[in-house]
Chain A
Amino acid sequence: MAGRDVMVKADVFDGLEEEQLASLREGFQELTYRKGDRIFREGDEAHHLWIVKEGQVDVGFELPGRTASEVHTLSTISAGKAFGWSSFVPPNKYRLSSYCSSSMCTVLRLQREFLLGCFERDPALGYRLMVNLASVVAERFNRLQGSATAVPYAQVKITVHLATCGIAAGAREVVNALVEEMAEEERPHIKMQTSGCIGRCSTEPNVTVQIEGAEPVIYQKMNGEKMRRVFREHVLKGVAQSEWVLS
């Protein structure tokens, strides 16, 4: 049975009363997967709504003869977020496959039939949950559309140079800001890494943004706020922030 705190944090249960949460709690099944395990496959009957309790789940499409990898991923679902909403959209088949993409994943699932029974007994619960689920789908719709058009499918590598001089100059703040922005966006094609000094201590903290098919851009004297802008403008929209670029 799912803990109350997990349910309160879940996006699909936003605004539900204690009694409503308690009625749903009875229907939860908790499952654990290892990295690379498939949770459901494209084309399977969609009998369940799923929520990530711990870890990270990738949702994407499969190509014949290829193994699961991030290349196919359309979205990454983090803790507290729901997936498998096709269980409420005819013809009730999953349209994508889902995989555990962190070292371990704990997921909760609720059977559609169980939920429909709850909604029949308590239409106010059904109304609230449908608003929440539609809000989740709308948010993903906007995200998918944005990712499909802004910087299409380009692999992005962001390197924060974390040598002693960089750390002293505030590189940790830069890393924290970047981690927060990445968690917010859930874009699996954007990777972050850290590396050593680039030999320009006076310009630390430095950050290198490398977008597939373009020359790497090195930024200088970064801080959390600058990192957020570089992420939103350069990484997501492809517009380098020239005033901070290391010449």
Chain B
Amino acid sequence: MVNLETLEKVEVFRNLDDRRLSALSECCTEMVVQRGEGLFKAGEEAGHLWAVVEGRVKLVAEPDSTLQEHGVSENQIFGWPSLLRSPIYRFSASCDARSAKVLRMDSRCLQALFEKDPELGYNVMSGLLRVLGERFHELQEEVVKRRGQDMMNQW
């Protein structure tokens, strides 16, 4: 169980009341990891949603490509496949600071809560869609920029 002040800062849990935060906290544990230490690997079954409390986490799909690497900062979530239809991690996650404190949230526990309280599920999943959409847009901007440059170069 983690304290509610930590939880309410997480980007998908903002604006939730204490009763719901308290229920969510039952699904969470806090962990401290050191630089380079791995949290999960791409291809593994996604059993947890994660959030950074302090420090920074790096997500990598394949080495040697800037498009395949993302940084996750404080209060941001990662490991979103854990709550989706194909629960397989697509990236490997590791600590990218001297140390990082992270929240590890059991996806089955979260999903059971959401089934019991669909309004909570709707709020959290709407937040997750927003986060995912924003990150998709960032990736899309990068791809469009690169492709646009490629096309301009061909003119």
Q: Mark A120-138, 1 if CB is under 8 A from B, else 0.
A: 0001101100111111011
Q: Which residues of A contact B121 (CB under 8 A)?
A: 123-124, 127, 130
Whole-angstrom distance between the Cβ of B21 and the nearest chain A Cβ: 18
Report the minimum CB–CB distance from A29 to chain B (whole Å).
23
Report the bound CA distance from A196 to B148 in whole Å. 36
User: In chain B, residues 96-155, which have Cβ atoms closer than 8 Å to a Cβ of chain A?
Assistant: 114, 118-119, 121-122, 125-126, 128-130, 132-137, 139-140, 142-144, 146-148, 150-151
Question: Is B83 engaged at the interface, CB distance under 8 Å to the other chain?
Answer: yes
Let me know if B140 and A134 touch, CB within 8 A.
no
17 contacts between A and B (CB under 8 A): A63-B151, A88-B126, A89-B129, A96-B140, A124-B122, A126-B119, A126-B122, A127-B118, A130-B121, A133-B129, A135-B84, A135-B86, A137-B132, A141-B132, A148-B143, A153-B147, A153-B150
Given A127-B114, A145-B61, A145-B139, decide whether A134 and B129 contact each other with a Cβ distance below 8 A.
Answer: yes
Of chain A, the residue at the smallest CB distance from B129 is A134
Q: Are B151 and A132 in contact (CB under 8 A)?
A: no
Identify which of B118, B133, B151 contacts A137 (C-beta below 8 A). Answer: B133
CA distance A131 to B118 in the complex (A): 12
Asked if B19 is at the interface of the complex by the 8 Å CB criterion, the answer is no
- What 0/1 pattern do residues 51 to 94 of B give for CB contact below 8 A with A? 00000000001100101100000000000110111100010000
> Do B125 and A85 touch (CB < 8 A)?
no
Q: A61 contacts which of B119, B142, B144 (Cβ < 8 Å)? A: B144
B122/A89 in contact, CB under 8 A: no
Assembly CA distance A126 to B128 (angstroms): 13
Cross-chain contact B85 with A135 (CB below 8 angstroms):
yes
**Which residues of B have CB within 8 Å of A141?**
132, 135-136, 139
Distance between A85 CB and nearest chain B CB, rounded to angstroms: 7
Q: Are A131 and B137 in contact (CB under 8 A)?
A: no
Not counting A130-B121, A141-B132, A149-B62, a sample of 13 additional A-B residue pairs whose C-beta atoms are within 8 angstroms of each other reads A14-B85, A123-B121, A123-B122, A126-B118, A134-B84, A134-B125, A134-B132, A144-B139, A144-B140, A144-B143, A145-B61, A145-B68, A153-B150
- Interface pair B129/A137, CB less than 8 Å apart: yes
- The reply to whether A138 and B84 form a contact with Cβ atoms under 8 Å apart is yes
Which residues of the partner chain A approach B130 to less than 8 Å between Cβ atoms? Answer: 88-90
- Chain B, interface SS category: helix
Near B by CB (< 8 A), chain A positions 125-170 give: 126-127, 130-135, 137-142, 144-145, 148-149, 152-153
Within 8 A of B (CB), among A58-106: 61, 63, 71, 74, 85-86, 88-90, 95-96
Interface residue? A33 (CB, 8 A): no
Closest to A139 in B: B86
For the complex, what is the distance from the CA of A139 to the CA of B81, rounded to whole Å?
10
Shortest B114–chain A CB gap in Å is 6
> Is A119's beta carbon under 8 Å from chain B?
yes
Nearest A-chain residue to B154, judged by Cβ: A71
Q: Which residue of B lies closest to A86 (CB)?
A: B133
CA distance A123 to B117 in the complex (A): 9
- What chain B residues lie within 8 Å of A90 (beta carbons)? 130
- Given A86-B133, A144-B140, A149-B67, decide whether A131 and B151 contact each other with a Cβ distance below 8 A: no
Tell me whether A131 and B65 are in contact (CB under 8 A).
Answer: no
| Closest beta carbon of chain A to B150's beta carbon, Å | 6
The residues of A that contact B80 with a CB separation of less than 8 Å are 134, 138
Q: What's the Cα separation between A139 and B84 when bound, in Å?
A: 10
A14 neighbours in B (Cβ, 8 Å): 85
